[in-house]
């Protein structure tokens, strides 16, 4: 982590959400910074996680993409009080501003008390790899309940989403404030990057599948930096549902027990087996009641061990330090162990419903490390994957895609 003065160097990145607590399951983090000129009060900016912001290509043919700045921290390092009046986010393409979004004083005043309360309740600390509270503010960080920051007090801004047109390459963050010496503006430039994977990935399932959850902005995955570009794949039958009869057993789901294959060559660096299936939705249970029940179960899992959220899993290290994750596998189905070298198409296990899961499905993601809580998620494009019209999909997958894979014999 580095700290630097305004408009100096750039260092930064995205961070996670303030709603969808249930969605915060497979997560990650880091941080970066910015501050003020020597003649100005020391107002410091940090972002979580560290590094460039990775763009999701929503429509590459029209040069449309989007990004999420997960967490921004603003801290007063001076002895005098500083009143934050606004935050401006500017999208730049080759140095030219193409779009500006502003958070005004009223919005800051609206959210500051609830964020302060969340810190006092331990929410930010409990989900540290999601919100990045410690990387942003340190162990002794203290949020302010108002726009006025005394020495050492901070504000946090969460889940800033931006839709991009063209080749935006920088997100500039500017914080406007007032001190007893006059106006203060502190800026930080964050690179925006279209990630190019080091490894080539094939789809980890064979046959026809439905992308139930992709990296779209309405996906719960998107708001957690480690799972930002993850997908959930299920199988849908001719009846238009994921299960054959009433969905009261895992065996009734079309996806359950389907083989899961390695998406690229690599070495297994982590694996877990032995976790049974999660509860299923009752026949007469409303989804709201089911969701509430599963949210409570998720809290219990996190209290016991946050790593239990992924259920049974396999993590493979690939070329360039990328790691693929295969989650919610069936208990007792793993066919690999730590240290095994695998090739694309080699079976790892079977689809299950273990961990924090609503129904049998495969959770797949690629990260820049083996730590499922803190490693950064990155987007990938699967090789040779056909879509609903049989054409090869040359873009990143999104929620609602029907895909067909026949690369596995």
Euclidean distance between CA atoms 311 and 303, whole angstroms = 15
Q: Is it the case that residue 189 has pLDDT exceeding 90?
A: yes
Percent of the chain topping pLDDT 70: 89
Residue 408's pLDDT is what? Answer: 53
The yes-or-no verdict on residue 1 having pLDDT over 50 is no
H or E element at residue 105: helix 105-120
**CA separation for the pair 346, 104 (Å, rounded):** 53
pLDDT tens readout for residues 389-403: 778 898 999 999 999
Q: Kindly indicate the confidence band of residue 38, based on its pLDDT and cuts at 50, 70 and 90.
A: very low
The helix/strand/coil state of 287 is: helix
At 68-77, the pLDDT tens digits run 999 999 999 9
For residue 255, the tally of other CB atoms under 10 A from its CB is 24
Residue 7 predicted with pLDDT over 50: no
Radius of gyration of the chain, Cα coordinates, nearest whole angstrom: 22
pLDDT-derived band at 17 (thresholds 50, 70, 90) equals: very low
Kindly report the backbone phi and psi dihedral angles of residue 307, in degrees, each rounded to the nearest multiple of 5, phi listed first: -70, -15
Q: Which CATH class is domain 21-193?
A: mainly beta
| Residue 232 · residue 400 · CB < 8 Å | no
DSSP 320: G
Look at 98 and 27; give whichever has higher pLDDT: 98
For residue 224, pLDDT beyond 60: yes
pTM beyond cutoff 0.85: yes
Asked if residue 102 lies in contact with residue 173, where contact means CB atoms within 8 angstroms, the answer is no
Instruction: Name the CATH architecture for the domain at 207-405.
Output: Distorted Sandwich (2.70)
Is the CB of residue 56 less than 8 Å from the CB of residue 148? no
pLDDT of residue 31: 29
Region 230-250: mean pLDDT is: 94
The pLDDT value recorded for residue 304 is 77
* Token pair listed for 31: 């941080």
Burial zone of 300 (CB within 10 Å; 0-12 exposed, 13-18 middle, 19+ buried): exposed
Q: How far apart are CA 263 and CA 316, in angstroms?
A: 9
Q: Which helix (H) or strand (E) holds 178?
A: strand 170-179
Domain coordinates in residue numbering, the chain? 21-193, 207-405
- HSE, CB side, 13 Å, CA atoms: give it for residue 20: 18
pLDDT band of 2, cuts 50, 70, 90: very low
Q: What is the pLDDT of residues 306-355, one digit of tens each?
A: 788 889 999 999 989 999 999 999 999 999 999 999 999 999 999 999 99
For residue 256, the Cα-to-chain-centroid distance in whole angstroms is 25
Which residue matches tokens 């929620």?
399
Give dist(CA 397, CA 58) in Å, integer: 9
Helices then strands, counting H and E runs in the chain, come out as: 5, 23
Q: How far apart are CA 86 and CA 107, in angstroms?
A: 9
Quote the distance between the C-alpha of residue 269 and its chain's center: 21
**Residues 226 and 369: beta-carbon distance below 8 Å:** no
Tell me the mean pLDDT in the region 281-299: 89
Number of Cβ within a 10 Å radius of residue 59: 12
Closest CA to 310 of 266, 375, 380: 375
Q: How confident is the model at residue 144 (pLDDT cuts 50, 70, 90)?
A: very high
- What's the average model confidence in pLDDT over 200-226? 93
pLDDT over threshold 70, residue 33 = no
Residues 6+ away with beta carbon under 8 Å from 394: 60, 381
Computed over every residue of the chain, the mean pLDDT equals: 88
pLDDT number for residue 407: 61
């Amino acid at each position: 982590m580095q700290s630097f003065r305004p408009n100096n160097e750039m260092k930064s990145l995205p961070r996670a959400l303030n709603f969808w607590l249930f969605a915060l399951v497979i997560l990650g983090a880091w941080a970066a910074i910015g501050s003020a000129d020597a003649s100005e009060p020391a107002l410091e900016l940090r972002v979580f996680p560290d590094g460039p912001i990775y763009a999701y290509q929503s429509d590459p043919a029209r040069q449309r993409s989007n990004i999420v700045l997960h967490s921004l921290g603003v801290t007063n390092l001076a002895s005098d009080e500083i009143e934050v009046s606004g935050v401006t986010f500017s999208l730049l393409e080759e140095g030219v501003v193409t779009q500006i979004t502003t958070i005004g004083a009223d919005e800051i005043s609206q959210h500051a008390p609830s964020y302060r309360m969340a810190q006092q309740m331990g929410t930010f600390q409990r989900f540290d790899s999601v919100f990045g509270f410690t990387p942003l503010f340190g162990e002794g960080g203290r949020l302010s309940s108002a726009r006025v920051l005394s020495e050492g007090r901070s504000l946090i801004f969460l889940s800033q989403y931006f839709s991009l047109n063209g080749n935006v390459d920088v997100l500039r963050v500017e914080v406007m404030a007032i001190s007893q010496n006059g106006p203060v503006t502190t800026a930080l430039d964050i690179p925006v990057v279209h990630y190019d994977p080091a490894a080539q990935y094939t789809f980890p399932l064979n046959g026809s599948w439905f992308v139930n959850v992709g990296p779209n902005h309405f996906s719960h995955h998107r708001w957690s930096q480690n799972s930002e570009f993850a997908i959930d794949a299920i199988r849908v039958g001719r009846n238009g549902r994921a299960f054959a009869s009433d969905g009261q057993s895992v065996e009734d789901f079309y996806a359950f027990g389907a083989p899961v294959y390695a998406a690229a060559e690599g070495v297994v660096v982590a694996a877990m087996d032995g976790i049974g299936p999660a509860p299923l939705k009752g026949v007469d249970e409303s989804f709201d009641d089911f969701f509430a029940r599963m949210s409570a179960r998720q809290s219990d899992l996190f209290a016991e061990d946050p790593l239990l959220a992924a259920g049974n899993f396999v993590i493979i290290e690939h070329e360039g330090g990328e790691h693929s994750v295969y989650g919610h596998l069936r208990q007792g189905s793993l066919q690999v162990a730590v240290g095994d070298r695998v090739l694309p198409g080699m079976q790892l296990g079977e689809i299950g419903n273990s961990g924090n899961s609503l129904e049998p499905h495969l959770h797949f993601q690629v990260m820049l490390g083996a730590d499922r809580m803190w490693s950064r998620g990155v987007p990938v494009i699967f090789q040779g994957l056909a879509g609903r019209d049989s054409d090869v999909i040359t873009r990143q997958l999104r929620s609602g895609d029907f895909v067909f894979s026949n690369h596995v014999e």
